[in-house]
Structure 1
Amino acid sequence: MKFTVLGGRGLIGTQVVERLRAAGHDVVPASLSTGVDVISGEGLERVLAGADVVINLTNSPAFDESSIDFFETSMNNLGAAAEAAGVRHHVILSIVGTDQVPQLDYYRAKVAQETILKNAPTPYSIVRATQFFEFVEAVLSWTTDGDTVRLPSTPLQPMAAADVAAAVARAASERPLHGIRNIAGPDVVPLDELGRITLAARPDGRHVVTDDRAGMFAMVTGDVLTAPEDADLAPTHYTDWLQQQP
């Protein structure tokens, strides 16, 4: 099969491209660096020509309200281009629990992306993943003040980017779901504890203080960002992943 991977130069996209090529597929990675702009529509016709499947891993450059316009515009452009090219399967990567956190602009933006995909004529699959291990350091930096990191006790169930890429590649290689597949890591860990685990493995003089008002995830209530009952659980544990990092 021929796959077009939008966002094919990113953290997940690069690994999805590698996996699909290793399976013997014809894969076209597409991004701004290859002359494809999902906002203007430039290059979409070219990279979708002859594609059986398009995998959309593009992301908004911001997490604020502007992300809504990004996903609405990009999805409308891509949906029209996919239909015109005769694409038979459209896959996107979304977030577990995104429809249960309307107070966050970025999560509402991902709901808008999903809605446009569902209403388009091209058969589709939505892969919803939990937070990535690779982003934990960034989350800590958001609420760092000197040597103190303030984090809420929000339950998360993070997973490795490699496991996310494997799930996306698998979903894209199968028949369209016409629905959602949830994926998550094997362990539920409160965010403040995740921070302590990280700094214990990579000590840099900072320490974690639990503050349920700190940062973006303080706005999330309950366990909506953990795996629902139907989720596929990935094999990689965060502590094992940490030990394997340089």
Structure 2
Amino acid sequence: MPFSLVHATQFFKFLGSIADISTDGGTVRLPGALIQPIAADDVAAAVARAAAGSPVGDIEVAGPEAFGLDEFVRRGLTFRGDSRTVVRDDDAPYYGAKIDERTLLPVEGAEIFATHLEEWLPLNPPRF
């Protein structure tokens, strides 16, 4: 059966939950593994386009910039005025799993969307 299936890298909006699950006291420990996060609105656009178009199989979408996981969270927390300290710890788990440097990067040939983290942050205040 013909199909289209959109795969996306981590969403910007998961920044807070990634920090929360990795926090011990006032310290966030995260590996420096690379991620290429994407705005949820960009994923929605990709899904809508796939739903309206002809089946093309697997589609992968990602944001325009790669960060170390620690750097991604550090930038977001700093922007939001969060006082937690982010420490790079390559032995720290990501949602309970040890990951390699390139585990979370998109596959070669992924469609890259334009929204940058610094554009997204001011438009998406944290929800408590």
TM-score, scaled to structure 1:
0.48
Q: Which has the larger radius of gyration?
A: 1
Equivalent position amino acid for 1:173 in 2: A
1:185 aligned onto 2:86: no
1:133 aligned onto 2:12: yes
Partner of 2:50: 171
Equivalent position amino acid for 1:205 in 2: S
Q: In structure 2, do the counterparts of structure 1 residues 220 and 233 end up closer, same or farther at CA, with 3 Å as the change threshold?
A: same
| Residues 142 and 215, structure 1, Cα contact 8 Å, conserved in 2 | no
| Residues 125 and 171, structure 1, Cα contact 8 Å, conserved in 2 | yes
Matches of 2:44 and 2:28 in 1, distance apart? 30
| Residues 7 and 61, structure 2, Cα contact 8 Å, conserved in 1 | yes
2:29 to 150, 173, 177: 150
1:243, CA displacement in angstroms? 1.7
Residues 168-187 of structure 1: CA deviation (Å, up to 9, x unaligned)? 0101111111x211110000
Partner of 1:104: none
1:142, CA displacement in angstroms? 0.5
* Aligned residue pair count: 124
Partner of 1:205: 83
| Residues 30 and 94, structure 2, Cα contact 8 Å, conserved in 1 | no
Equivalent position amino acid for 1:213 in 2: D
Following TM superposition, the consecutive aligned residue runs of length 4 or more in structure 1 with deviations greater than 3 angstroms are: none
1:225, CA displacement in angstroms? 1.8
Residues 2-34 of structure 1: CA deviation (Å, up to 9, x unaligned)? xxxxxxxxxxxxxxxxxxxxxxxxxxxxxxxxx
Identity of aligned residues (%): 47
Residues 156-205 of structure 1: CA deviation (Å, up to 9, x unaligned)? 0000000000000101111111x211110000000000111012101222
Classify the secondary structure of the residue corresponding to 1:150.
Answer: strand
2:94 to 216, 219, 229: 216
Choose between structure 1 and 2 for higher RCO, CA contacts under 8 A separated by at least 6 residues.
Answer: 2
Q: Map 1:16-55 onto structure 2 (within 5 A).
A: none
Give the CA RMSD over aligned residues: 1.4
Equivalent position amino acid for 2:64 in 1: P
1:208, CA displacement in angstroms? 0.4
Classify the secondary structure of the residue corresponding to 1:139.
Answer: helix
Equivalent position amino acid for 1:216 in 2: Y
Partner of 1:29: none
1:237, CA displacement in angstroms? 0.3
1:210, CA displacement in angstroms? 0.9
Unmatched runs of 5 consecutive residues or more in structure 1 = 1-121
TM-score, scaled to structure 2:
0.90
1:235, CA displacement in angstroms? 0.9
1:229, CA displacement in angstroms? 2.4
Q: Map 1:19-98 onto structure 2 (within 5 A).
A: none
Partner of 2:121: 242
1:146, CA displacement in angstroms? 1.3
Classify the secondary structure of the residue corresponding to 1:193.
Answer: helix
